Structure 1
Amino acid sequence: MLLSFQYGNKVYNHNRFFGEGGGARDEARVIFASNLNRWQQPGDMTDVPRPDGINVNNYLDGGSRWLEDGSFIRLRNVNLGYTLPEKLTRQLRGSSVRVYAQGTNLVLLTNYTGLDPESASSSDANQQGIDLGTPPQPRSWQVGVSATF
């Protein structure tokens, strides 16, 4: 079993920048459900500004509004196996039979609202922690049998 974690880092969620723009970007952009909580009239209490078409109201690229806690713990790998007893493998005319199952990226615990707090907008070491459409790490399962005759 392999667990990995990171604590105290910040991730710039550029996906939220575009998705919560609420019309401050072109019509081809996604709009997040959090826009339903946007400011609409005097007296509204919210942390989501009103949308506008000229990109003001805290929708500036450098704003800390898009910084999120990127702390996480991830179950990166689990490998379970069982070697059949020698008496049984001799009956199968073999010397060893092992069955196994392996899972990768099975659990991710985080408060980050994006898909993966280990995001990077490129492979450049200076671009780590910027989530701009980075797909999450895939979850996979493998099962198999290893036999020696």
Structure 2
Amino acid sequence: MNNSFSYKGFSLDVLVTFISGRSLRNGYLSDKFQDAGTSNPYFYWGPRSGPASNFNVSDFWSKPGDIAKYPGLITNTVDKWHIGQSMYVEDASFLRIKNIRLGYALPQKLTKKLGMSMIRFYGVMDNVKVWSKSTVPDPEAVGVDGYSGGNDYPIPKKYTFGIDLTF
């Protein structure tokens, strides 16, 4: 969705992008819920777990009858890097303010005195804000197969300022 507004020399353009109804498999999270076949199921938990260490360790299942948010860590000797279960499927829908451009063109009366036909000052912000229920760094960076390894970097924010001079 692109919205453009202008008033008395000012201009504002806002680009909003979104995806709805898309799912992803958070592979990074599944990798951190298993111990890669070591004898200690908590070996990879903690300082080696990166962003996954934000989880509350007391919320793991440990014995029958426990009510917990997360299952116990799993010894996975078949496939040491991927555990398949629906708990790792997340809603990858998002709404992003992709671009905001604000500009001001000086009145022509003033620009003609300076020997120019236009002087315009502008500022641009890229990748301003993203809203998503997903826990991966950037739900837009998910592969076509719906998989996110979790090591994707979010799209960086960028700020640009400039002057357009037309002679």
TM-score (norm 2): 0.72
Q: Secondary structure at the match of 2:24?
A: strand
- Equivalent in the alignment of 1:131: 148
Whichever residue aligns with residue 158 of structure 2, its letter is S
Q: Secondary structure at the match of 1:118?
A: helix
**Aligned residues of 1:38 and 1:50 also touching (Cα < 8 A):** yes
For 2:33 and 2:88, locate their aligned partners in 1 and report how far apart those are by CA, in whole Å.
Answer: 10
Q: Secondary structure at the match of 1:32?
A: helix
Q: Deviations over 1:13-64 (max 9, x none)?
A: 111112333xx13745535221512123454311312225x228xx953221
Give the length in aligned residue pairs: 139
For 1:49 and 1:42, locate their aligned partners in 2 and report how far apart those are by CA, in whole Å.
Answer: 11
CA apart distance, 1:12: 0.6
- Equivalent in the alignment of 1:145: 163
For 1:70 and 1:135, locate their aligned partners in 2 and report how far apart those are by CA, in whole Å.
Answer: 15
The unaligned stretches of length 5 or more in structure 2 are: 1-13, 37-42
Q: 1:34 aligns with which of 51, 55, 68?
A: 55
For 1:32 and 1:14, locate their aligned partners in 2 and report how far apart those are by CA, in whole Å.
Answer: 15
For 1:14 and 1:89, locate their aligned partners in 2 and report how far apart those are by CA, in whole Å.
Answer: 57
- Equivalent in the alignment of 1:104: 126
- Equivalent in the alignment of 2:8: none
CA apart distance, 1:72: 0.8
TM-score (norm 1): 0.79
CA apart distance, 1:87: 1.8
CA apart distance, 1:8: 1.1
- Equivalent in the alignment of 2:101: 79
- Equivalent in the alignment of 2:6: none
Identity of aligned residues (%): 30
CA apart distance, 1:94: 2.1
Please list every run of at least 4 consecutive aligned residues from structure 1 whose deviation after the TM superposition is greater than 6 angstroms: none
